[in-house]
Structures are given as structure tokens and as C-alpha cells.
Structure 1
Amino acid sequence: MKIRQNIRHFATKKALTMPVIGDIATEKMVDLHVRIFSERADPDRRDEREDHMAAFFECTFDTYLAALDAGFPEAEAREITHVQANFDFYNHGWTEMMEIPVDEIEAHYERYEEFFERHGIDIAEPLGEFRTIDIPDAPATLDKLDDPDHPHAEGGFADDVYVEDDSGEVGVGGADEPEDVDVSAAPGMQDVDRTDEKTA
């Protein structure tokens, strides 16, 4: 999968791994992702999917932290959560929201198969053991799988995590993490009290 990576992603990682602030960061990131993917959905389908996405995305941030704990770098840990989301979109036939083509779903699973198996994740059960809250149902559009239309999907990046930086350059694996990252660079964190930052 091709993803972006810049200072905001490293700031978000730091925020998510901090006590107290981590919960706030999760809420901000869930809201951001619901908005982004809702805008990709068919306009008449957006409202009926938002509660499902909000709960689903909340669970994926636990996956992100587990992937970091397992030693994955930021780009791969984040890609894992995006793969989970694309499994869910695929299962619902929400092809217009997918970031990878339907025919690359299996390849993305195989790249992280060991991690996924360890946590009970597969294509049919994208959250595995990270399904710790109720996920509201949302209507599927499975007929779209017969002739998938996914304008936001980029194919040809299934063999590794490809990272695009702010200059538009694309490389494999992601950038080295900066030593000193300000969490206020993370989306939605500009006005958050960071009293606990020094002890995180």
C-alpha cells in the first residue's frame, strides 16, 4: 500500500502512546478518519456508515499500538490499520472507499499474516481480538464487488509499504523517526493541555 508520512504522523504516534493525551488523540483521529472516508462514500450512503466507521476505527488504534509494541515501525503499524479498514470496506462492498484494489486484498493480508494470526485477524474478521466494543451494523453494497469501482485505490504497491513524503518522493519503508517531536503537530492536538508530556 502507498501511504503518506510526515511530521504529523510521528506527532500522532507520540500523542497516541502518551497517558491521558492518548485517549484524546484517539478521539481526534477517529473523527478525522470518519470524515475522510465518509467523503469518499456515495453521498446517499454517508450517514448510515458513520457510526460503524467510528467504532471500527476506534478499535484499530489499539491495533496500531500493538503493532508498535511488536516492533513495527510507524509506517507499517499504520499500514496494518489501513489494511484492516480495507478488509472491512471489502466485506461490505464499499469499494468506492477502498485504498487498494479488490484483487490485492489477499496480498496485503499475507504480508502481515504472522501478526494477523497472532491477534485473530483475517479478511472476514478484520478486528480479531481488537474488537473490544460493539460495532454498529451498516448496510452493505455487495453488488459493487461484481464490477468494483474504487477511484481512491492505488494498485501496484502490495509487496511492501511505500511511503510518500511532503515533497512527493516515494520510498520503501518510511522515514527515520525524528528524535524530538512536538505532539501539537498532530491533527487536532494544538489546544490540548500537555501537562503529562514530560512523564510520558
Structure 2
Amino acid sequence: MKLRQNIRHFAAKKALTMPVVGDIATDKLVDLHVRVFGEKADPSHREEREPHMAAFFECTFDTYVRALEEGFSEAEAREITHIQANFDFYNHGWTEMMEFPAEELEEHYERYEAFFERYDIDIANPLGDFHTQEIPAADSTPERLEEPEHPHAVGGFADDVYVEDDDGEIHVGGQEAPEDVDVEVAPGMQNVDGETDESEA
């Protein structure tokens, strides 16, 4: 899939893997992701989905850290968590929130199949072994799966992880991490109550 990647994402990587700071970063990044994906949701369902998303996303940050520990790049680890989220959106029929078309679910799964199998993750069970807390139930709209509409999805990037930098250039596989990264510039660590920037997710 295609993601954005800049210094803020490398700062988040650093923050999430630090003692104490990691918990603070997780809380703020969960809030940011709930806002970003909440804005993609059908407005009539947005509020009732937020508790579900908050708990779900918190679990995916454990996935992210584990993927980093296993040697995946920042972009790959983040893509894994976004794939988990899209599995969950699909299972609930939240097609308007998906980042890639439903027909690409299997291809995204297969690229990380070894990792997913190791932690009992699949399309029907998006969190697998990372389901470490209760996830509040939320509405489902299965009727949207019959003729899914994906207003926010970007297709055609299922064969690898692609990242777009701040200059709009596309890099296959992600960028090299900069040497000096300040955790204070991580997404969500500043201006939490300000305008949501989708590129930070």
C-alpha cells in the first residue's frame, strides 16, 4: 500500500520504543489515528466507532513494535498495522474507511503471511495474539460489502510498501532513517488538539 513517510514517522518509531515515553506516545498516537480514521467514517456512525478504534489501534502499536524488533523497516512495520486496521474495517463493512480496495486484502495479507501466521493474524482475526485487551463492540454495515465504495482507498500498490515523502516523491520499500531524530516531532506529540493531518498516520 502507499503511505506517507517523513521525519515525524521516524520520531514516532523512536518514541514508541523508549521506556516511559513509549506509553505517552502510544496514547497520543492512538488519539491521532482515531481522529484521522474517524473523519473517513460515515458521520452518522463516527462517534459510536471511536471507542472500538481506540482500543484496536492501541493493540496495533504493540504489533508495530514487535515488527520493528523482528527487523522490519519503519514503513513495513507501519504498513502491517494499517493492514490490520483495514482487515477490521472490512470485517465491519466500514468500506468507506478502507485505505485500499477490498479486492487487495488477500495480496496484502500474503506479503506478510509469515509474520501474520506467527501471531495468528488473518483477515477474520486482525489482531491475533496482539488482542490483549477488550475491544468495545461497534456497529457493522455488512450491506456495504455487496457493492463496496472506497472513497479514501488507493489501489495498485499491493505488491510492495510505497512511501511518499514531503516532496511528493515515491520510494519503494521506504526511506532510510535519518541519524538524528527528535521524539518531540513525532505525530501526536504536539498540537494534539489542533488540526488533524492525515499524512501523520
Task: State the TM-score bracket (shorter-chain normalisation).
Answer: over 0.9
TM-score by length of 2: 0.94
1:148 alignment partner, SS class? coil
Deviations along 1:88-111, one digit per CA (max 9) or x if unpaired, are 000000000000101000000000
d(CA) in 2 for partners of 1:66, 1:34 = 21
2:160 alignment partner, SS class? coil
Partner of 1:27: 27
Partner of 1:127: 127
d(CA) in 2 for partners of 1:3, 1:183 = 20
- Code of the residue aligned with 1:160 in structure 2: it is D
* 1:130/1:48 CA distance change after superposition, 3 Å: same
| Matched positions, count | 191
d(CA) in 2 for partners of 1:187, 1:99 = 19
d(CA) in 2 for partners of 1:189, 1:183 = 8
1:34 alignment partner, SS class? helix
TM-score by length of 1: 0.94
Partner of 1:63: 63
2:10 alignment partner, SS class? helix
Deviation at 1:24, TM superposition (A): 0.3
Partner of 2:86: 86
d(CA) in 1 for partners of 2:19, 2:76 = 23
d(CA) in 1 for partners of 2:102, 2:43 = 22
Partner of 1:181: 181
d(CA) in 2 for partners of 1:71, 1:58 = 21
d(CA) in 2 for partners of 1:190, 1:150 = 31
d(CA) in 2 for partners of 1:188, 1:159 = 30
Q: State the percentage of identical aligned residues.
A: 74
Structure 1 unpaired stretches of 5+: 192-200
Bigger Rg over Cα = 1
Tell me if 1:39 matches 2:39.
yes
d(CA) in 2 for partners of 1:100, 1:26 = 25
Matches within 5 A, 1:102-141: 102-141=102-141
Matches within 5 A, 1:148-167: 148-167=148-167
1:3 alignment partner, SS class? strand
Deviations along 1:20-57, one digit per CA (max 9) or x if unpaired, are 00000000000000000011001100011000000000
Deviation at 1:190, TM superposition (A): 4.2
Structure 2 unpaired stretches of 5+: 192-201
Deviation at 1:187, TM superposition (A): 2.1
1:171 alignment partner, SS class? strand
Deviations along 1:47-91, one digit per CA (max 9) or x if unpaired, are 110000000000000000000001000000000000000000000
- Code of the residue aligned with 2:30 in structure 1: it is V
Deviation at 1:154, TM superposition (A): 0.4
Partner of 1:170: 170
Deviation at 1:171, TM superposition (A): 1.6
Deviations along 1:106-146, one digit per CA (max 9) or x if unpaired, are 00000000000000100000000000000000010010011
- Code of the residue aligned with 1:180 in structure 2: it is D
d(CA) in 2 for partners of 1:180, 1:190 = 19
